[in-house]
Amino acid sequence: MFTTAPCIVGWSTLSPWGVGRESFLEGFRSDRPGRSGPVVGDGGPPPGYLIDADNLAGLVRGKGTRTLDRMTMMVLATSTMLLDEQPAAAVPDTGLVLGTSAGSIDSITTFLRDTFVQDKPYFVNPAHFPNTVMNGAAGRTAIWHSLRGLNSTISAGHSTGIAALRYASRMIRRGYAERLLVGAVEELSPPIAWAAHHMRSAAGPAGERVPMGEGCVLFLVERARAEGSQTAPPVARLAGFEAGTAPLADGAQALAEAIGTLLRRAGVDPADLWAVSLGQSGDGDADRAESLAVERALGSARPLLLTPSRKIGNSFSALGAFQVATLLAAAHGDRKLGRPALVTSMGVDGAVSCALVIV
């Protein structure tokens, strides 16, 4: 069952727990919180970066990094670690699907500010303009690694991580790609903190509040092949996806129906679910709707519940990718691939999505 589903054969990450997959695994096992930014709604000083810029420079080898912005460096560092572990994937026909909110908000606002503070509006540094384009990080990463396969940038709010994996899975199933680096990135910066502070509340269920986070997660996803013919043994399979939209007041019902449809199509009974990785982004209404939707859809089933945002913060467009990484961390070391797990997302804009991952 699910043997034809696209496979995750490797992954790497930059997270508030540190650099690389091992840091993520160690942080997950120890159950310690990662470095975190401010809680949205508290105000206070602008955040510092959670991921050390010196670490990024050390991971990205070669010339030509001087004009790269921090978000692009995060993607380059994560992809370099992943391709170093999976050298057989560093071939021209490999593609890249990257999720992001709107590219680097910090680069956009800095470039825009320069048009006002320079003596002339056109006295900006043209080398910094590519950093303001939403697909700039994906394009530069592909050029850096000489990846000439499919190259796409996905933006879908809190659902971005799931949407990127869904898009990549569809492209692989339809024959447009054999192998893709897939994931999402988000940076924490003063403009992001300012916008989040003014746009939404951070009051979560039962008074819990979620700090802001940042990071990058990339998965190596391949077409399912005969045993032993892939770049590496699968660590997970992408078995299915569902998505929709509804007013936030109806979000719980919309997500519950999406989960029910996904499980029915896959032939999975709720009682067979091993784990559920929830978004719980820090918005009270959205978080309560997400929790209620899972309760309605699963009934008496009691799978393991994972909420990575409580430990590494709300990384917005990268949160869904971190949810999948948390499932892989929870299953790490267990060689019995075959347990169905669920990833759910409820956005403050009413977007709902879920994914079925076999780990």
pLDDT digits (tens, 9 = 90+) for 219-238: 999 999 766 667 788 999 99
Q: Can you say whether residue 345 is alpha, beta or left, with left for phi > 0 and alpha for psi between -120 and 50 degrees?
A: beta
Using one digit for the tens of pLDDT, what is the confidence trace for 135-146?
Answer: 999 999 999 999
Q: With 0-12 CB in 10 A as exposed, 13-18 as middle and 19+ as buried, what is 253?
A: middle
Do residues 83 and 134 both lie within one domain? yes
Return the HEC string of 203-238: ECHHHCECEECCEEEEEEEECCCCCCCCCCCCCEEE
Say how far apart CA 69 and CA 358 lie, in whole Å. Answer: 36
Q: Determine the Cα–Cα distance for residues 183 and 26; give it in Å rounded to an integer.
A: 21
Asked, for residue 230, whether it belongs to a domain, the answer is: no
Domain count, the chain: 2
pLDDT at residue number 60 = 79
202: its two tokens: 């951070």
Are 118 and 247 in the same domain? no
Say yes or no to pLDDT of 340 above 90. yes
Say how many C-beta atoms besides its own lie within 10 A of residue 128's C-beta: 15
Closest CA to 308 of 92, 108, 16: 16
Closest CA to 166 of 318, 22, 356: 356
Mean pLDDT score of the chain, rounded to an integer? Answer: 88
Determine the pLDDT at residue 207: 43
Instruction: List own/partner pairs for 43-47 with CB under 8 A and 24 or more apart.
Output: 43/197, 46/189, 46/190, 46/193, 46/194, 47/188, 47/189, 47/190, 47/193, 47/212
CA–CA dist 7, 286 (Å, integer): 30
Instruction: Select, from the ranges 49-53, 108-112, 259-263, the one with the highest average predicted confidence (pLDDT).
Output: 259-263
> How high is the pLDDT of residue 129?
80
Domain coverage including residue 342? 237-358
In terms of pTM, does the model score above 0.85? Answer: yes
Residue 206 — very low, low, confident or very high, per pLDDT cuts 50/70/90? very low
Can you tell me the distance from the alpha carbon of 27 to that of 21, in angstroms, rounded to the nearest whole number?
10
Task: Tell whether 51 and 147 lie within a shared domain.
Answer: yes
> Is the Cα torsion angle 274, 279, 282, 285 positive or negative in sign?
negative
200 pLDDT tier (thresholds 50, 70, 90): low
What local confidence, expressed as pLDDT, does residue 305 receive? Answer: 97
Is the model's pLDDT at 131 over the cut of 70? yes
SS3 of residue 67 by DSSP: coil
pLDDT tens-place string over residues 255-281: 999 999 999 999 999 999 999 999 998
pLDDT at 45 over 60: no
Query: 181 and 65, same structural domain?
Result: yes
Q: Are residues 93 and 191 in the same domain?
A: yes
Same domain, 61 and 123: yes
- Cα distances (angstroms) measured from residue 68 to each of 40, 43, 56, 275: 28, 30, 11, 39
Q: Are 12 and 78 in contact, with CB atoms under 8 Å apart?
A: yes
Q: State the CB neighbour count (10 A cutoff) for residue 301.
A: 14
What is the pLDDT, as a whole number, of residue 225?
Answer: 78
Is residue 50 scored above 90 in pLDDT? no
User: Is residue 60 situated within a structural domain?
Assistant: yes
The reply to whether 28 falls in a domain is yes
The pLDDT of residue 105 is above 90: no
Token pair belonging to 39: 């809680």
For the domain that residue 201 is a member of, what is the CATH number? 3.40.47.10
Q: Is pLDDT larger for residue 43 or for residue 217?
A: 217
Residue at 2 is within a domain = no
